[in-house]
Amino acid sequence: MREKLIFDISRKGRKGYSLSGNKFPELPLESILPSKFLRTTPAELPEVSESEVVRHFVRLSNLNYHVDKNMYPLGSCTMKYNPKINDYTCDLPGFSALHPLQPGATTQGALQLMYELAEMLREIAGMAAVTLQPAAGAHGELTGILLIKKYHESIGSKRHKLLVVDSAHGTNPASAALAGYEIVSVKGNADGRTDLDDLRSKLDGDVAALMLTNPNTIGLFEKEIQLISKMVHDNGSLLYMDGANMNALLGIARPGDMGFDVMHYNLHKTFAAPHGGGGPGSGPVGVSEKLLPFLPVPVIVKEGTTYKLSYDLPESIGRMMNFYGNFSVLVRAYTYIRMLGPDGLRRVSENAIINANYLLSLLLERYDLPYPKTVLHEFCLSGDRQKKASGVKTLDIAKRLLDYGFHAPTIYFPLIVSEALMIEPTETESKETLDVFAQALLAIADEAANNPALVLSAPVTTPVKRLDDAMASRQLNICCSL
Ligand SMILES: *Cc1c(COP(=O)(O)O)cnc(C)c1O
C-alpha cells in the first residue's frame, strides 16, 4: 500500500510542524508565514511507502563505508566513533529549534553551552581564551593567522613571512597564503622533527610566526618545543599550533604551557563530531593573553548569571562566520567532553597512543618505518620495500585494503615519507579490530610478494572496481548506477 506522505496544505487550519519530531506548540501556518508565501497547490513529492524509503537508505548506507560499519585508519584525520548520545542532545528542541536571530533572553541555554565549551577548551589547552566561530580546522588557521597579522600591525611591525614545517598539512601553507603571507618551508631532521638549525637560519626580522603541528603528522612530539618557543619569541615572532592532533595530548600536555600563542582545535576530530563528506565541522581557536583584544566578535560574556553576546572589542579582526559557528557541532563536542570528564579525556589520549603503538608493533616486520619506533597517536609507514620488490605501490596496497573490508589509510602524506601509508587507529578501536586490520595489511604484504598482479588489480570485491584515476578526475561521474 502506498501511503500519502505529502502534507495536505489545502486543508483549512493547517499547522506548522517540525521535521525532527520535536514538541513545539503547533501554530497555524498563517500565523508564522505571510499568506502570500504559502503554497496553494501541494508540492509534488514522491509517493512511496515507509518500507521503500527505509530500504532505499539502508541500501545506500550498505554501499557506503562509514564509522558505524568499520574502522577508518586515516592518519591525521582522527575518524573516531560518534556517540549516539551526541545526536540525542543535539536534537533537544531548545537546541535544534533555535533561530539565530532569537533574542538573548530566550537563548540563555545555548549561550551557556557555548560559554562553557569555550571555557573547557581553554582549560584543556591552557590558553587565555577561545573563540568558537571558525567552521573547520582550515578556517581556524585563517582566523589564527589573521589574529597574528593584527597583533603585528598593532605594534607597528610589518612582517610578511610565515614559517611552515615541511611535514605540515597542506591547509597550513594555504591558509598562510590566503592571509597574504609569503611561505617559507622549514625542514624536518632525520628524526622526523623540526630541524632546529634550519629553523634558526630562517628566523629573521620578517617572520611573523612559525606554524607547527604537535604532535606532528608522523605522530612525533616536538621534544624541543620549549627551545623552539624561545627561539621564535626571541625573534619577535609568534607560535601557531595546528591542533588537529590534540587527541594525543588531552589531560597530558597543554599547548599554552609549551608557549603557543594561538592554536586551533578540530572538534570533528578530537571531540567526536561527525567528520567527512563535507558535513559541518568546527575549528575553535585558542589564544594567549597578547591576542585577546583581536578575537572575532561577537564574544560570549557572562554577567552575573546571564550570558550575552558582546561586540565591544574595538580591535577585533571582525566576524569570521555568520552567526555563532556550527552550533550542532558545538553541542556534540560539549556532550562528549562532559560525558568523559577530565579523567576520561586523559584516557582518550592514553588509549590513542597505546593503540597506535600496538598496531605499529604488529606491522613493523613487513613494512618500512622511516622514523622512530615509538609514536604518539599515529604512525607513517612506507611502501618502498613492496614497490622495489614487485612494483606494488602504496596506492595498490590502499586499494587492496578495500577488498578486506577496510577504508584505506591516508596515503602519500606527509610528503616527507616516500610511498607514505599514514595510519591512525584512534582510541575507540578495540584490540580485536586492530588485530583484524593488521592481519589484512600483513596478508597484503604476502600478496604483494607472491601475487603482485592481484594487488595491482584491486579492488575486486567492491561495487565500483579500480578506476582510471586520470579519467575519473576529468570526467567525474558520481551517478553511476550500481
Ligand atoms: C585535518 C587537518 C587540518 C585541517 O582541518 P579541517 O578541519 O579539515 O579543515 C589541518 N591540519 C592537520 C594536521 C589536519 O589533520
Has residue 479 got a pLDDT over 80? Answer: no
**Nearest C-alpha neighbor of 282 from the set 397, 413, 82, 135:** 135
* Region 346-355 average pLDDT: 97
| Index of the ligand 1 atom closest to the CA of residue 139 | 9
For residues 256 and 125, the answer to whether their CB atoms sit within 8 Å is yes
Residue 433 has pLDDT above 50, yes or no: yes
Residue to mutate, 222, 241, 266, ligand 1, most ligand atoms under 8 Å from C-beta: 266
Q: Is the pLDDT of residue 9 over 70?
A: no
Pick from 78, 139, 171 the residue to mutate for probing ligand 1's pocket: most ligand atoms within 8 Å of its CB. Answer: 171
Q: Pick the residue whose CA is nearest to atom 6 on ligand 1.
A: 137
Taking CB atoms and a 6 Å cutoff, what residues make up the pocket around ligand 1? 76-77, 136-138, 169, 171, 213, 217, 242, 244, 266, 281, 283
| pLDDT tens digits, one per residue of 117-140 | 999 999 999 999 999 999 999 999
What's residue 31's pLDDT? Answer: 81
Question: What is the band of 2 on the pLDDT scale with cuts at 50, 70, 90?
Answer: very low
pLDDT band at 442 (very low <50, low <70, confident <90, very high): very high
In this structure, which residue's CA is closest to atom 2 in ligand 1? 244
To the nearest whole number, what is the mean pLDDT of the chain?
Answer: 91
What does the alpha-carbon distance between residue 110 and residue 193 come to, in Å, rounded to a whole number? Answer: 41
Q: Which triple of cell numbers denotes residue 279?
A: 558535513
- Would you state the pLDDT for residue 15? 56
Q: Which one-letter amino acid corresponds to residue 235?
A: N
| 270: its cell numbers | 578530537
**Interval between CA 240 and ligand 1 midpoint (Å):** 14
Cα(169) to centroid(ligand 1), Å? 7
Whole-Å CA distances, 206 to 37, 161, 203: 57, 6, 8
Span of 153-167, 267-281, 322-336 with lowest mean pLDDT: 267-281
Q: Is the pLDDT of residue 276 over 80?
A: no
- Which residues are 194's β-sheet partners? 188
- Ligand 1 centroid, distance to 379 Cα (angstroms): 16
Q: Has residue 271 got a pLDDT over 90? A: yes
* Residue 71, pLDDT score: 94
Helix (H) or strand (E) holding 58: helix 50-63
- The count of residues in the chain is 482
Give mean pLDDT, residues 38-55.
Answer: 90
Which domains are present in the chain? 5-37 (no CATH), 84-340 (3.40.640.10), 349-474 (3.90.1150.10)
Looking from the CA of 256 toward its CB, the CA atoms found within 13 Å total 20
Angle at 53 between CA 328 and CA 3, to 5 degrees: 115
480 pLDDT exceeds 80? no
Output the CA 179–ligand 1 centroid distance in Å. Answer: 17
140, 264 contact by CB (below 8 A): yes
Residue 216 Cα, ligand 1 centroid: separation in angstroms?
12
The pLDDT of residue 8 is 44
Task: Answer yes or no: is pLDDT of 3 > 50.
Answer: no
Within 97-136, residue ranges assigned H as helices are 108-125
Region 228-232: mean pLDDT is 98
Q: Using CA positions, which residue lies closest to atom 5 of ligand 1?
A: 137
**For the chain, give me the number of helices (H) and strands (E)?**
17, 12
